[in-house]
Structure 1
């Protein structure tokens, strides 16, 4: 059964002990094609980001780089610009034919909260080798906003796959012909399905958001609580975008924009935003890269959903133009159709979305 494991098979991994946790698993933790990972009770402030490396443990590297440790039990602030390592509640004992990949959850990425999973012996972020046994850790670096966290919060998610079932361009074109994977723009298929940026103003003139440089703390447990004006500057068509549909990204700034295309993930497939490619431009798009089966799917309440683009500009100012391709969605077959789809009777915050900040902000 090659492909990404669905929710019911993730439940079987838990039942078999291949995925275990120091506390009982909670409702909603198993998603259609992934498992949410929970923060433990201690955060280690470290001098720098690191990977354990072959034959090394994360605990050994923490001992090398630790500055101080923070008890999260009553809640604690992780400060903007600092790097933390937090042991997660979950641990793995993967079978030899099963690998895993982790990513930030959507709300995490929309806060410019860089968080990646690291493991003992790991030589890559967010990649967990077949047969891996041991503790999982989250490296967390708040980039735009300081955040208040507590044990049990879910910032990362993990996907399990057996073999590889990525669709090549021919198979992707056939799937698009059968099910219409994108609308609102042409299907650009080249090593995946191309994503382009929409810089046209909405009815209220809004094109996107830019994170303000000096803000208060965001409590990640507060949903629909914060006024966007305290944390974001509006980018509007008559001020932020010129008459030719262009915006100049400032180095070090973080933006929330939206794709021109409405995306559809059929029930038997999952998708992932492909890694940033330097030749695309002087920016990075999309920290949170998982798209679940049923995202934008009509019977699951979607009818197409546009992709929110989390954009950070790097070293030099960069001109981004309306319709410019900024990323690729790679589609992969599921090992089995999930028992429940994204948006189908579960708490799916971004089904049918357009331009949307994280769930912590008032609409």
Structure 2
């Protein structure tokens, strides 16, 4: 019997053997992460007029037929254009047992490219949420926001996590965990999760982040460390500990705190409160067991924040609390932890762009001795869900 909690890699492999998770072609070992499964793009992308959800009793294929403009063959690779919406059937499909639910999210490198990627299902009324008992195909809605991208069938832009029962830790349980195995240095700001703040302190070269350039070339997702960052990103520097976010612009920033995920837990990014300002900070939100943890060779890892400002310019200041990590229990400890024997791109990370880019300098990761976040000063608060500043995690 499966214990309550997030399902680890060994349980995912059992579900694959049982046919609850299936694919054509078959799932490969590299897709199975410590607490999630990478999903692969199929061979065709449908350019549609607008984003949509299938809705109760409807199939995604029928909605595609209604909204399709044209289709793109991904077998040999094709460009998905900036500002366009595509729906791509995934190679995986589900037949979830009773009591097992699933949630999907973009992978870290996907979020850092400002590549909006969400999972939709037949009969679905929400993005990225899959109810128990769901049987059917999976689709990725993909909308490049800052850069046009070259993608191919089989590439992995999003991932899915499976849960049995209730897994989220209460604030009291989170405080107990932090006391036994510190999740951040100093006093933890705990309110419906573990709060984290933005680091805008001037470093040696005053570099605090990057802003995407508006007119760039295509990014081939398979080219790792290939593109000079200066061709796609503007460096953000400050001597004042603050920046002004421009409406519609996309930023890469970093959390002030180094965080850890103990081996028996996983975490997901969420807004800090319903309202913290005109931005969103949780595009790519899964953190696997072992992220930044000493048991997996970590010393605390700072979270990269994928930030988009909305509607009005917004002053973002050093130490402002911008998000929270919601911790969940694993049903059992994964056989392999994030960063321990895996190709984990972002273990021990500091300020870091997506893996396709190379930079002349990187802000080094801070150890877990960073100062704790400070309370947000009085400021007008706006619905964070309707705005667009996340740390999403591994690549």
Same fold (TM over 0.5): yes
User: CA 1:152/1:248 → structure 2, altered by over 3 Å: closer, same or farther?
Assistant: same
Q: 1:32 corresponds to which residue?
A: 34
- Match of 1:341, SS state, is coil
User: CA 1:234/1:186 → structure 2, altered by over 3 Å: closer, same or farther?
Assistant: farther
Q: Write the distance in 1 (CA, Å) between the matches of 2:272 and 2:283.
A: 9
Deviation (angstroms), 1:28? 1.6
User: What root-mean-square deviation, in Å, do the aligned CA atoms of Structure 1 and Structure 2 show?
Assistant: 1.0
Deviation (angstroms), 1:276? 7.1
Q: 2:116 corresponds to which residue?
A: 114
Q: 1:271 corresponds to which residue?
A: 267
Q: Write the distance in 1 (CA, Å) between the matches of 2:314 and 2:305.
A: 16
Q: Write the distance in 2 (CA, Å) between the matches of 1:38 and 1:178.
A: 38
* Structure 2 counterparts to residues 276-315 of structure 1, below 5 A: 278-315=274-311
Checking the alignment, whether the CA contact within 8 Å between 2:195 and 2:272 is kept in structure 1 is no
Moved more, 276-285 or 113-122: 276-285
Q: 1:325 corresponds to which residue?
A: 321
TM-score w.r.t. the length of structure 2 is 0.89
Deviation (angstroms), 1:237? 2.1
Deviation (angstroms), 1:278? 4.9
Q: Write the distance in 2 (CA, Å) between the matches of 1:127 and 1:275.
A: 17
Q: 2:355 corresponds to which residue?
A: 359
Deviation (angstroms), 1:187? 1.2
Q: Write the distance in 1 (CA, Å) between the matches of 2:156 and 2:323.
A: 26
Q: 1:157 corresponds to which residue?
A: 159
Deviation (angstroms), 1:362? 1.3
Checking the alignment, whether the CA contact within 8 Å between 1:276 and 1:284 is kept in structure 2 is no
- Match of 2:11, SS state, is helix
Moved more, 196-205 or 125-134: 196-205
Q: 2:59 corresponds to which residue?
A: 57
* Structure 2 counterparts to residues 257-268 of structure 1, below 5 A: 257-268=253-264
Checking the alignment, whether the CA contact within 8 Å between 1:116 and 1:139 is kept in structure 2 is yes
Q: Write the distance in 2 (CA, Å) between the matches of 1:257 and 1:246.
A: 12
1:350 to 333, 346, 349: 346
Q: Write the distance in 2 (CA, Å) between the matches of 1:353 and 1:202.
A: 16
Q: Write the distance in 2 (CA, Å) between the matches of 1:21 and 1:343.
A: 27
- Match of 1:182, SS state, is coil
Checking the alignment, whether the CA contact within 8 Å between 2:198 and 2:255 is kept in structure 1 is yes
Deviation (angstroms), 1:263? 0.5
Q: Write the distance in 1 (CA, Å) between the matches of 2:24 and 2:271.
A: 32
Q: Write the distance in 1 (CA, Å) between the matches of 2:40 and 2:145.
A: 20
Checking the alignment, whether the CA contact within 8 Å between 1:253 and 1:312 is kept in structure 2 is yes
Q: Write the distance in 2 (CA, Å) between the matches of 1:150 and 1:118.
A: 20
Checking the alignment, whether the CA contact within 8 Å between 1:18 and 1:95 is kept in structure 2 is yes
Runs of 4+ with deviation above 3 angstroms: 275-278
Moved more, 51-60 or 272-281: 272-281
1:96 to 95, 98, 105: 98
Deviation (angstroms), 1:275? 4.5
- Match of 1:315, SS state, is coil
Q: 1:211 corresponds to which residue?
A: 212
The C-alpha deviation readout for 1:285-307, integer Å capped at 9, x for no partner, is 12000000000011212110000
- Match of 2:295, SS state, is helix
Deviation (angstroms), 1:253? 0.3
The C-alpha deviation readout for 1:96-146, integer Å capped at 9, x for no partner, is 110000000000000000000000000000000101000000000000000
- Match of 2:88, SS state, is strand
Q: Write the distance in 2 (CA, Å) between the matches of 1:38 and 1:192.
A: 31
- Match of 1:293, SS state, is coil
Q: 1:196 corresponds to which residue?
A: 197
Deviation (angstroms), 1:203? 2.7
- Match of 2:275, SS state, is helix
Q: How many residue pairs are counted as aligned between the two chains?
A: 357
